[in-house]
Structure 1
Amino acid sequence: MNKLTKREIMFIGFMLFSMLFGAGNLIFPAYLGHTAGENVWQAILGFIISDAGLAVLAIIAIAKSGSLDTLVNRVNPIFALIFPISIYLAIGPGLAIPRAGSLAYEMGVKPFLPNTMESSPIGLLVYTIVFFSIVFWFTKSPSKLVDRFGKILTPSLLILITIVFIKALFTDLSSFPDATLSYKENPISQGFLDGYQTMDAIGALVYGIVFINLFRNKNITRPALQVKYLTIFGLICGLLLTLCYLIIAYLGASSSLPGEVDNGAIVLSTVLQQLFGQSGSIVLGLIFTLACLSVCIGLITSCAQYFSSIFPKLSYIKASIILCLISGFVANLGLSQILKVSVPILGLMYPIAIALIILGLLHDRLPYNQRSVYVMTIGFVGLFSLVEIINTTFLNGSMSALLSHVPFQPNGFGWVIPGLLGLIIGSFIEKMKVQEEIIEKKAA
């Protein structure tokens, strides 16, 4: 039986951090810090719980289940096909990868272009060709990811963030402003909802396939040992994410901006210019480029491994090429168009993913851990989330007054009660099945 060394464990934990820490992990906590102001620590606590906390729990849930396929098959074979594909498409070429590629251009290159090229689509086109060529070079050899992430990308990114933080400690920045928007009344719950935007809990679910292949290459076959290692990787990653969020939220809360801002990229750009002057744009560009590059490599790798596993005629290399091409094309639609569709998609998928993670963690402790419990719980959560998305996206909130009567809905967690109701009904159905089987056996 093979085991991992402490050095390997640390580097793989670093790898998981880099695979999760992308552009959204920079801009969302920065905007949260700036908007939450004096309530920044309560808000970032909610953010950390829904991002780093759920990501760690997702890794553990996959470890306990054996794989994402095993977990989703407990619900229904059709769900087991549709939901993973939806996740891989959403965090892959349909949303997360193009968002990262586009943000890397917006923050890493565009500020340095002449005015004549800044508004031209040619710059983004050329950049995405170069960017996704580099991504493909990294992803074509999955067995080398641990070395490339753990020894190069992750340390470089952490060093840059640490330098920024140390500089901030010795710089007289602005005091925290008053909280605004929902951060004034419900900072923790709003921070929790903001954590959805990073998509890390969903990303952690699908990265399981990378670690399954890694264990196979290392000849680590004992399930208990795999669960132990995955838990340690998740905790290392969660600790690094937490430290980075605290730093970025602090920078956001300390930033002094004239007027209102609508995204964290502007917040980070402003605070780094306050810290480093004109060189701040270079530092920010490097941080964004490394973060976006890392997360795209991780996502392309996991998506390519997944699609090549369900389509036998599609090799891993071919899948990687196709994913890079599609992601590059979608990235050229522009960042604003990509971000417009992210909120409704995540609003539908995240509650389902959270419910699935909780069921996976509690599987051995459920009074009746058969299919009905999973079907009813996921079904009720999914139905409520779908109604909520239809209301906000297509009905302009015409059903909001009705939905507000559902407990926790004003704080964004209306799906919790339907989920608990589904759990109870599913358990009752299973109990009835068990009693019927007992009666039939006695009758026989």
Structure 2
Amino acid sequence: HVLAPLKIIALAVLGIAAMLWPAGQPLPVSAGYSHLPFSSGFVNGYLTMDTLGAMVFGIVIVNAARSRGVASAHLLTRYTILAGLIAGIGLTAVYLTLFKLGSGSGVLVVPGAQNGAEILHAYVQYTFGAAGSGFLTVLITIACLVTAVGLTCACAEFFSEHTGIGYGKWVFLLGLFSMVVSNLGLSHLISISVPVLTAIYPPCIVLILLSFTLRWWHSSARLVAPGMLVSLVFGCLDGIKVSAYPDILTAWVDRLPLSAQGLAWLPPTLVMLVVAAAYDQSRGRQQISVL
């Protein structure tokens, strides 16, 4: 009831400042975004982890509604959709303002800036002066704390239901693990997370998209399972390509369709889904015999 409103207010202040007081003119577009704008933005969007977070926070939203006496499946679906729309609109506003902030703030940092945090820090220093660092510290602390609490609770609840370890122990273990990993540094974390996210994002995308079509099929598992499996396999190949060990892959991987764009998983996944859909339609509904 306190942290979330403070987070929204702090983000609003930063967003309004970015729109009203740009630091300078936009710099030339980098080579990757100049030649492959859509695929570069799409793949780099994995780093936001919004899709993964949405899958986890769905549990938090449903449990919050149930704790307030909402038991109807229809109402739970309605509230989840409303929460998703609100989150989508809010995230869109945040990213648009960050685009504006980043496009005009590159002049404040050296060309070799390692990550966007350096640009963000330079902007708040430029705009708010000495108080900028304090403002950014408060903003990041609140934003990360809200997200960390939600993710920790959701993950602890999930694992406690599927393992023999209690909820409290999972909260402690997840908190301890996060504390250790957070000390690796942002640039190091990004270098580790990029291959992992590149590998696991494709099956998550497939799962979410297919969830809107479950009523179309006689047995949705016939599409979901093979589609996610193929996307995971080829997603792992994309992940290895952007890791520190791309040389372990053979040359044929580079010749896969859309491999240069980091989307080598997409064509084989589409082919598998077409084949699986045809198989599902030909087999019809599963018949269960009672002996």
Q: TM-score, normalised by structure 2?
A: 0.88
Question: Is 1:271 aligned to 2:123, yes or no?
Answer: yes
CA-to-partner distance for each residue in 1:270-294, whole Å, 9 max, x for gaps? 1111111222111111111111111
Distance of aligned partners of 1:330 and 1:165 in 2 relative to their CA distance in 1, 3 Å threshold: closer
C-alpha separation in 2, matches of 1:433 and 1:279: 66
- 3-state SS of the aligned residue for 2:21? coil
1:356 paired residue number? 207
CA-to-partner distance for each residue in 1:81-138, whole Å, 9 max, x for gaps? xxxxxxxxxxxxxxxxxxxxxxxxxxxxxxxxxxxxxxxxxxxxxxxxxxxxxxxxxx
Question: Is 1:293 aligned to 2:145, yes or no?
Answer: yes
C-alpha separation in 2, matches of 1:168 and 1:425: 48
2:183 paired residue number? 332
Q: Contact 1:209 / 1:305 at 8 angstroms: preserved in 2?
A: no
Q: Contact 1:391 / 1:400 at 8 angstroms: preserved in 2?
A: no
C-alpha separation in 2, matches of 1:326 and 1:406: 37
CA-to-partner distance for each residue in 1:156-182, whole Å, 9 max, x for gaps? 122223223433444363111110131
Q: Contact 1:376 / 1:425 at 8 angstroms: preserved in 2?
A: no
C-alpha separation in 2, matches of 1:217 and 1:298: 15
Report which stretch shifted further, 392-401 or 334-343: 392-401
Question: Is 1:317 aligned to 2:146, yes or no?
Answer: no
Q: Which of the numbers 228, 253, 257 marks the counterpart of 1:407?
A: 257
Aligned residue type for 1:216: R
Alignment of 1:15-414 (within 5 A): 148=1, 152-171=2-21, 173-255=23-105, 256=107, 257-312=109-164, 314-366=165-217, 368-393=218-243, 395-397=245-247, 399=249, 402-414=252-264
Q: Contact 2:202 / 2:235 at 8 angstroms: preserved in 1?
A: yes
CA-to-partner distance for each residue in 1:289-327, whole Å, 9 max, x for gaps? 111111111111111111221235x33223212222232
Distance of aligned partners of 1:288 and 1:410 in 2 relative to their CA distance in 1, 3 Å threshold: same
Distance of aligned partners of 1:171 and 1:423 in 2 relative to their CA distance in 1, 3 Å threshold: closer
> Structure 1: where are the runs of 5+ without partners?
1-147, 438-444
C-alpha separation in 2, matches of 1:346 and 1:267: 23
C-alpha separation in 1, matches of 2:61 and 2:20: 41
Q: TM-score, normalised by structure 1?
A: 0.59
Report which stretch shifted further, 272-281 or 156-165: 156-165
C-alpha separation in 2, matches of 1:322 and 1:216: 26
> Structure 2: where are the runs of 5+ without partners?
none
C-alpha separation in 2, matches of 1:267 and 1:288: 14
Q: Which has the higher contact order (CA 8 A, sep 6+)?
A: 1
Alignment of 1:428-439 (within 5 A): 428-434=278-284
Q: Contact 2:102 / 2:119 at 8 angstroms: preserved in 1?
A: yes
Give the CA deviation at 1:404: 4.1
